[in-house]
Structure 1
């Protein structure tokens, strides 16, 4: 839903375009209902462990419906000292709830994994909503030596990035194994996804968007198209792929549908994907929209347009998923149609928030 982490997380938790739900520089608008609030009000225990990055009190996890939190509210921390060095003054950033928490020298993803497993074990006899927000492979990438050794064939940033992803895979596997051990796996929905495309920031390189153009902070597909895996044994088809377009903001209504929760009183931009996942139905979206400062993008069916000031870019993603050819001059009719879509969307109250960096 956005090529940046805070914006994408806001859409995920609210089911809304982040431009509607975000109080710039603060957090999620108080008028919004988060996924945690929805599930907590339905009797679920709620926990988030890892990276928050959607504001401090009253916009912190406790202010947004989470009963438990261990992690950091900033964009990045060192995985062993738990200090953030990406601020004007370096400071210790690890928290338990709203209180400082010290566990110096413990690998932060191990803390996230341990706390997540403890949460699901303590609440195995009650419904729970668990948001696990790992900070790897976000910088600083500090994978364990045992995983680095698996990538001795690679060099430089790719070796470190590969090891960080494998470390992440190991931690996710531990949580899934804990669900099995507690007899919860068949009654638990797991959604695995990223918030935005890989980083090209100097301290975070090593990732790849494969055939797609762009990266984090870009409205090309490499910045906004991310992998997503959903699992629910016996209820969701296994080993199948869906190509229909969806968005992070679709997960609130989708999970609410699966769990039988009423969202009729919520103003949502997201749409339930249950028919897409279960029956390969068409996408519930007629169009999707993105903004990044003065840039914007709109997609309808296979056509996607990016506006960068006076420059228009148009691609047919079915024919050219890598966005290598600009068809703006060839199809002015599509440009006009998508511009009208964008203007109608903006007229509903959309305002640009973030600054932009050229891809």
Structure 2
């Protein structure tokens, strides 16, 4: 098989150039890896009848396609979205967190320091009481269109965007989907959206800051449909777009980013009542009936899109990719979900925060209900779709094509080095300490993952042997711990601009920190 792979890949590229496939890419928002029933059963010893959430369409996608068990995103949505669109590690671009409508040099009409981006946020922080040894870094709130993204890389395809953007500097048209080459079907440039009566927010043209120069556009709601629930509305728009492509000569990309299942927790009452009454409520730590109905509506959307591809005859030459932008949310009240058996959730660099579901399906090509245990990353999607569609790759990518793994899902894949960087103090509580998360960065090389808590803690885990990250190996393997720490620091120094790094507040001593965290400087 190994000898045949180069030939198979070459033939695949020839096929892509002659008859390039369409691509439907679905990026769920805040969906935990075990929120999908098939993934919950894969990682937990539970039967289908024990599950609280209902995901029949996603379960079927897993049983029909190729599912990845070690697929990684970033800890928050904007960095993952930037990484997917560019094939680059997000911190290299300065997109290190997901900001609300915060102040930037651009929207405050302030002079931009040399080397900075106008859309760098300079005042983003969570309300955390007490002195903090590290001051927050800056974060870029917008994706520069000069960096090649999907529409520019996939020049053979018509590219349409639908749903959540959150990479446009909070309303700057020159950083929104059309500026990157997407046809805008309907979108909102924000982290979350109401699920009922959302149209006014999406069509807003009044800037959040009166100092913002130029035009402001929150997004565009598009022509009205007969659906009053956002997930259903966006699903219908996706279906209509796919139907419109039947018989068209040029292939298409639909980059679909539903807001589901991001907060606010809102869903139609009959569905919520159904989940409130289920006897499985509480299993695997899931109790949030509204969230359960939100997951079900997202699942139905995926089912409608697949059914449309089959009904129109487009499925045979369309690659469908489904994934999520970060781990499930555990910090809300009530919690949205529980990511067991994985530790932590959204905003954490433990597996529960960054390991996500990823499924690829194309009839007669990528199918069979196979699991792939090789490590893949959100930076891999751009090189993968470029190779599958026969388009040349841009330079300076961090991701690599998943095509060899799709051709042979049983392959262990080549050793990967993955990097995460979150240079902020955040009010989300540490899953072990119960205190707000400090700045933290991480590196995974092969099987081992090092998490660097900037307050002075290093943790080392063997992920295949200990996916729940219950046994810290840093004291047992001090040499490997030190080596990975130096490698991580070296990468950050070489690839991340200083403004996107936390800054030590020398006025705060370990004693002044009040003992809330064991601070020691590991710079």
Tell me if both proteins adopt one fold, taking TM over 0.5 as the criterion: yes
Runs ≥4 residues deviating over 6 A: 101-105
Alignment of 1:229-248 (within 5 A): 229-248=359-378
Superposition pairs for residues 155-194 of structure 1, below 5 Å? 157-194=287-324
Aligned to 1:48: 161
Pairing of 1:201-350 with structure 2 (within 5 A): 201-202=331-332, 205-263=335-393, 265-279=394-408, 280-293=410-423, 294-309=439-454, 310-350=456-496
Q: Larger deviation: 198-207 or 248-257?
A: 198-207
Q: Which moved more, 1:324-333 or 1:136-145?
A: 136-145
Q: Which moved more, 1:157-166 or 1:131-140?
A: 157-166
Q: By how many angstroms is 1:102 displaced?
A: 6.7
Q: Would you say the 8 A contact 2:75–2:327 is kept in 1? A: yes
For structure 1, which runs of at least 5 residues remain unmatched after alignment?
Answer: none
Deviation at 1:105, TM superposition (A): 7.6
More deviation, 242-251/150-159: 150-159
CA–CA distance in 1 between the matches of 2:243 and 2:226? 25
Q: Does 1:128 align with 2:252?
A: yes
2: CA distance, partners of 1:157 / 1:60: 37
Comparing 307-316 with 285-294, which one deviates more in the overlay?
A: 285-294
Judged with a 3 Å threshold, the aligned counterparts in structure 2 of structure 1 residues 11 and 80 are, in CA distance, closer, same or farther, namely same
Is the contact between residue 195 and residue 267 of structure 2 (CA under 8 Å) also seen in structure 1? no
Kept in 2: contact 1:186–1:234 (CA 8 A): yes
> Once superposed, what is the RMSD of the aligned Cα atoms?
2.7
Query: For residues 187 and 283 of structure 1, do their structure 2 counterparts lie closer, same or farther at Cα, with a shift above 3 Å needed?
Result: same
Partner of 1:74: 190
Structure 2 regions of 5+ residues with no counterpart?
Answer: 1-72, 96-116, 118-138, 210-216, 424-438, 503-516, 518-523
CA separation of 1:204 and 1:26: change in aligned 2, threshold 3 A: farther
Q: Which range moves more in the overlay, 24-33 or 305-314? A: 24-33
Matching residue of 2:101: none
Residue 353 to residue 69, structure 1, CA distance change in 2 (3 Å): farther
Deviation at 1:27, TM superposition (A): 1.2
Higher relative contact order (CA 8 A, sep 6+): 2
Q: Distance in 2 between matches of 1:88 and 1:202?
A: 26
Bigger shift: residues 232-241 or 21-30:
21-30
Q: Secondary structure at the match of 1:130?
A: strand
In the superposition, the TM-score normalised over structure 2's length comes to: 0.62
Counterpart in the other structure of 1:37? 152
- TM-superposed CA distance for 1:354, in Å, is 8.5
Q: CA deviation at 1:104?
A: 10
8 A contact 2:164–2:188 mirrored in 1: yes
Q: Deviations over 1:265-321 (max 9, x none)?
A: 422100011111221333345311111103110111111110112111111112211
2:269 alignment counterpart: 145
Q: Which residue of 2 aligns with 1:95?
A: 220
SS of the counterpart of 2:240? helix
What is the SS of the residue equivalent to 1:315?
A: strand
1:11 to 83, 106, 116: 83
CA distance in 2, matches of 1:332, 1:305: 11
Q: Classify 1:285/1:123 alpha carbon distance in 2 versus 1 (closer, same or farther; 3 Å).
A: farther
Using the alignment, how far apart are the partners of 2:453 and 2:197 within structure 1? Answer: 41
Q: In the superposition, relative to structure 1, how do residues 243 and 62 fare at CA in structure 2: closer, same or farther (>3 Å)?
A: same
Q: CA deviation at 1:150?
A: 3.7
Give the whole-Å Cα distance in 1 for the aligned partners of 2:185 and 2:491. 35
Report deviation, 1:146: 4.2
Count of residues in Structure 1 that have an aligned counterpart in Structure 2: 348
